[in-house]
Amino acid sequence: MGRGKKRRKVKQKLKRKSGKLVRFCLSNSSKKYSGFSNKFCYQTNIHNLIYKDAIFDNVKFQNSNITECNLKNTKLTGVDFYNSNLKKSKFENAKLKDVIFFNCNLKNTDFKNTKFENVFFISTNFDYCKNLNKEEIIIIKEYPKIDNQSLINAILELSKFTKLYKSNVLHVKKNKINNWNISILYSKYSHDLIRALKALKNRKDKRNFITLYSYKKFIESYLKI
């Protein structure tokens, strides 16, 4: 390993220890990767990588490029793709559960024989992707309104906690909630959502709240659903 590469690795390690996000960039590798879990990937830039048979659990890709990647037979549970480019990537025979595609580029993305369970396509143009069975997905185009002030207040209280705020699942800004995600949660849990979010505020362990799926797991555990 050269000196320059060693220095970069040391800098990345120091950034991770200080809580800063480290961008991952890699392309044209012949190695087969196994996936990962409990990770917030910001501005990840990967191209032509092999994730065949990989497992992803509770992962969020934000403002990322995931192009021409082989995701055949992968299992994705609780994965959020936000403002990301998945052009020409292949999800053939993949199993997607509790996955969100928000404002994504899906041009020539292949969903041949992909199995969907509770998968949302939000503000995403899927006209140019391949083999997508629209009957198996949930499509949201219109911006939802949240008028419940008690709910809004409970969410804004959580923005004080960095571990909950930094992944922007419930919040867009410190003083603005994420209406898209909140509407999904509220339609499922109704007023019990407020009770669960207040319990989350008092919870000591606030790690790994990275995706909408991670919040759903906590809410259902708390409500004993």
What are the domain boundaries of the chain?
A: 21-140, 149-223
pLDDT digit string, tens, across residues 28-46: 999 999 999 999 999 999 9
The kind and range of the H/E element at 80 are: strand 75-82
pLDDT digit string, tens, across residues 181-204: 999 999 999 999 999 999 999 999
pLDDT digit string, tens, across residues 101-135: 999 999 999 999 999 999 999 999 999 999 999 99
CA 106, 109, 114 angle in degrees (round to 5)? 115
Answer yes or no: are the C-beta atoms of 52 and 70 closer than 8 Å: yes
Gap between the Cα atoms of 168 and 116, Å rounded: 24
| Selection from 179, 147, 151, 177 nearest residue 164 by Cα | 177
Cα 218 to Cα 167, 174, 213: the distances in Å are 16, 22, 9
Q: Which two tokens stand for residue 102?
A: 């928000």
Residue 18 pLDDT > 70: no
Selected from 3.30.365.10, 2.160.20.80, 3.30.70.590, 3.60.21.10, the CATH number assigned to the domain covering 21-140 reads 2.160.20.80
